[in-house]
Amino acid sequence: MSASCCDNQEFDGSSPGFRRALWVVIAINAVMFAVEMLAGAAARSQALKADALDFAADAATYGLSLYVIGKPAAWRANAALIKAGSLMLIGLSILSLAVWRTFFTVQPEAGLMGSIAVLALIANLASVVILMRWRDGDANVRSVWLCSRNDAIGNVAVLASAGLVAWTATPWPDLAVAVLMAGLFTSSAIQILRQALAERRSEQDHTHHHDEAGDQCPSVEKTEPIVSSD
């Protein structure tokens, strides 16, 4: 079909099902942020606090994703760039705090740490299942999937850390997981950044070509009216 040249676009999140899924996932992340931050303080666990910040960042960025649905492509790409930047900043802050903790280490309470990590893993797996059908799309949509997927991976690492803390009776596994999670933040940020920049360049090129050559997929061919010579 002639319209295919204009329809070759990635899913931009414009569906009622995706909007409902985002609302549910935002609620899950907001609740888990409060739970893990309190538990992290009680258990003296840097890994739990890092994961709590992850939940807070996800709730905020998912809200931004929801806001830009239906907006122009440039808005969605810019929103993805903001999310990439925020993930990078959080990753750096987690890493800095982990380095500081190496000089002021307090052994975490492994039992509470492990039980909250199980709860967080269940919450993130629920988010992954909810978002599974929308794992492909533009940078705005894909950033939601990458954050949820990496969160589940991070929770498995926290569980492993809790076991190692109990086994070794040292805080070093907890600090190692905090560093690992900082790496996950940074990796996700780089992936989102690359896709968002590519989409923004593509949108700019499309606008430039449209201005030069006009609409590439006209629905009706424009012709000059026929004027009778009589």
Q: Is 214 left (phi over 0), alpha (psi -120 to 50) or beta?
A: left
Q: Give the pTM.
A: 0.64
Looking at the chain, how many residues does it have? 230
pLDDT of amino acid 88: 84
Report which of 186, 165, 154, 170 is spatially closest to residue 36, judged by C-alpha positions.
Answer: 154
Q: What is the DSSP string of 10-27?
A: ---S-SHHHHHHHHHHHH
Phi/psi for 26 (5° steps) reads -60, -45
C-alpha distances in angstroms, 93 versus 46, 97, 113, 141?
Answer: 12, 6, 21, 25
> First vs last Cα of the chain: how many Å apart?
39
CB 102 within 8 A of CB 218: no
Residue ranges, the chain, pLDDT below 50: 1-8, 217, 219-230
Q: Report pLDDT digits (tens) over 51-110.
A: 787 788 788 888 888 888 888 888 888 888 887 887 788 778 777 766 676 566 555 666
Phi/psi for 216 (5° steps) reads -80, -15
> What does the block give as tokens for 203?
């949108």
pLDDT of amino acid 194: 87
